[in-house]
Amino acid sequence: MKLVILDRDGVINQDSPQYIKSPAEWKPIPGSLEAIARLNRAGYQVVVATNQSGIGRGIFDMDTLNAIHDKMMKALFAVGGRIDAIFYCPHPADSDCDCRKPRPGLFRQIAERFNIPLEKTPSVGDSLRDLQASAAAGCLPMLVLTGKGQETHAAGDLPENTLEFAHLAAAVDHILGGEA
């Protein structure tokens, strides 16, 4: 099975320091939905692993998160793409859970659900915690410079073997180019 793991905010859609709290605030980054559709057409399953501490903080509820994800899925469907599963951590940053990135719990859940090892699985994020969780799970960390990506790049101290790309479409070009 071919699999790619994506962070949501800052990779697929525009990010906000105040969180994406409603479907109206969810806006795709240009080219990201088409990039996911290209992965699907190439036989990849695409999974989202996202911290959503707004739930634990009471900023939005599960119905709102589901509505945001419904909007994302419909937008993807419109361009011929799909997300095969969404894994999220609802806990606030001060929680001691294993699922909040930079911990690899969400990645372990993905490996268990799909019954596959994650070694060298491409994992695309825009923050250091995305890359750290990816590396801890044995994935291939890929930084995009959208969202918080430029700040993450500037801060340095990235996990070993992290690849960097301007945006998700460029990361997908690399992933698909590696198959030729």
Say if CB 149 and CB 119 are below 8 A apart.
no
Q: How far apart are CA 126 and CA 167, in angstroms?
A: 9
Say if CB 104 and CB 130 are below 8 A apart.
no
Burial of 117 (0-12, 13-18, 19+ CB in 10 A): exposed
Q: Tell me whether residue 9 is one of the annotated catalytic residues.
A: yes
143: nearest Cα among 133, 131, 155: 131
- Identified catalytic residue from 9, 15, 126, 130: 9
Q: Taking the C-alpha atoms of 128, 143, 27 and 33 in order, what is their torsion angle to the nearest 10 degrees?
A: -140
Helices (H) and strands (E) in the chain, counts: 7, 6
- Identified catalytic residue from 7, 15, 126, 130: 7
What are the residue numbers of the active site? 7, 9
